């Protein structure tokens, strides 16, 4: 039951990520660029976490932990940067399928770190998730064009950095309180984004023309909620299960596109969403079934 609670926290963080693509599209339609929106997301998210730290945290973080958390934060911003570059080079459906390779990558990283082969339920879940991602990503909705090698590389790099984000966020500085940990991770992420995309929008008037509204929403859903949720949940459930749960991001993105953008979703995409939801539920269902069976045999042994 405790693990289920932390699994729900991770689902909340992943769902929060899922709404970002629709908000970004609305921002694009209103004339803002990807660097402006991404930069605003991290800068505003950082300020939000700074307010939380100043209000609720009195924990003194060691220099070693600060440096570790700054490094962890870069994996998050690298994911956003690489994915944005991938979308520039490839159709969005291909880019999302490449990004979602993080599901099996996370399980593989955990298996290597723990020197243990992944459980059967995790392997089954990954297979179903990959199949669902191909359908939900719209890979079969149109003809496959000649793909950019550069775009494929950026897409896979986004998947690698995202899987490492899950891994390190669940293992680094776990003794640091969630608010402080999230703040320093966001600091590392924001510094990197500002280096790659200098925040000229803060002084050239772009912020006042409406960017602040998108930056506020993106910072809340793309920085504050997911960083805190993953900081709470990943150490409790492990990297492998966390990356499987993170796959809820894609169905959320599709549903957000219907709600916010009135986009049409093909039957194939709905089939993919069902596969993904089923793939996420499998480890939980099999675990509950296994626990019930163990409890039954335990009670039967006691009675005899």
pLDDT tens, residue order, the chain (304 aa): 567 788 899 999 999 988 888 898 899 889 999 999 999 999 999 999 999 999 988 888 899 999 999 999 999 999 999 988 888 888 777 778 888 888 888 888 888 988 888 877 888 888 888 888 888 777 666 545 567 889 889 989 999 999 999 888 888 888 899 999 999 999 999 999 999 999 999 888 899 898 999 999 999 999 999 999 998 998 888 888 888 888 888 888 888 888 888 878 788 888 888 888 888 888 767 666 665 665 555 555 555 5
| Other CB atoms within 10 Å distance of the CB of residue 92 | 13
Say how far apart CA 36 and CA 54 lie, in whole Å.
27
- Which sign, positive or negative, has the C-alpha torsion 101, 104, 107, 112? negative
According to the model, what pLDDT value does residue 78 have? 94
Q: What is the CA radius of gyration of the chain?
A: 20
Judge whether 257 lies within some domain: no
Enter the pTM of the model.
Answer: 0.84
Decide if 208 is inside a domain.
yes
| Interatomic CA distance for residues 282 and 256, integer angstroms | 24
195 domain residue, yes or no: yes
Query: What's the pLDDT at 220?
Result: 95
Helix ranges, the chain (H): 2-18, 20-29, 34-56, 63-89, 92-99, 102-114, 120-136, 149-169, 178-196, 212-219, 225-237, 239-245, 249-261, 267-303
Q: For the chain, how many structural domains are there in total?
A: 1
- Residue 156 covered by a domain: yes
The Cα 207–Cα 215 span in angstroms is 9
274 found inside a domain: no
Kindly tell me the burial class for residue 60, based on how many C-beta atoms sit within 10 Å of its own C-beta (0-12, 13-18, 19 or more).
Answer: exposed
- Spell out the residues 6+ positions from residue 71 whose beta carbon is closer than 8 angstroms to its own: 168, 188
Nearest of 46, 29, 17, 18 to residue 215 by alpha carbon:
46
Is 19 contained in some domain?
yes
- Half-sphere exposure of residue 132, counting CA atoms within 13 Å on the CB side? 26
Note down the domain range covering 214.
2-119+142-251
User: Does residue 124 fall inside a structural domain?
Assistant: no
Token pair, residue 6, equals: 């932390």
Q: Which two tokens stand for residue 240?
A: 């492998």
- Cα–Cα distances in angstroms (integers) from residue 58 to residues 52, 169, 177, in the given order: 11, 21, 10
Length of the chain as a residue count: 304
> Is 90 inside a domain boundary?
yes
Q: Three-state DSSP class for 266? A: coil
């Amino acid at each position: 039951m405790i693990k289920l609670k932390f699994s729900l926290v991770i689902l909340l963080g992943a769902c929060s990520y899922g709404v970002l693509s629709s908000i970004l599209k609305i921002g694009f339609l209103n004339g803002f660029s990807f660097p402006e929106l991404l930069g605003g997301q991290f800068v505003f998210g950082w300020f939000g976490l700074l307010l939380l730290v100043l209000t609720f945290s009195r924990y003194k973080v060691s220099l070693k932990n600060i440096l570790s958390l700054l490094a962890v934060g870069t994996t998050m911003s690298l994911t956003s940067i690489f994915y944005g570059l991938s979308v520039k080079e490839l159709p969005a459906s291909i880019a999302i399928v490449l990004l979602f390779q993080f599901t099996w990558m996370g399980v593989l990283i955990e298996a290597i770190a723990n020197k243990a082969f992944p459980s059967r339920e995790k392997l089954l879940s990954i297979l179903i998730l990959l199949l669902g991602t191909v359908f939900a990503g719209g890979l079969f909705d149109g003809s496959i064009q000649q793909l950019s090698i550069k775009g494929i590389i950026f897409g896979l790099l986004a998947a690698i950095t995202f899987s490492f984000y899950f891994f390190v966020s669940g293992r680094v500085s776990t003794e640091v309180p969630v608010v402080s940990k999230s703040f320093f991770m966001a600091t590392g992420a924001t510094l990197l984004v500002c280096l790659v995309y200098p925040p000229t929008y803060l002084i050239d008037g772009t912020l006042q023309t409406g960017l602040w509204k998108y930056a506020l929403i993106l910072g809340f859903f793309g920085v504050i909620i997911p960083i805190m949720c993953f900081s709470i949940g990943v150490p409790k459930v492990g990297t492998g299960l966390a990356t499987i749960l993170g796959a809820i991001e894609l169905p959320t993105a599709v549903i957000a596109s219907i709600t916010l953008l009135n986009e049409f979703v093909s039957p194939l995409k709905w089939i993919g969403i069902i596969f993904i939801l089923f793939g996420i539920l499998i480890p939980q269902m099999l675990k509950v079934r296994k626990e019930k069976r163990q409890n039954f045999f335990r009670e039967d042994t006691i009675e005899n």
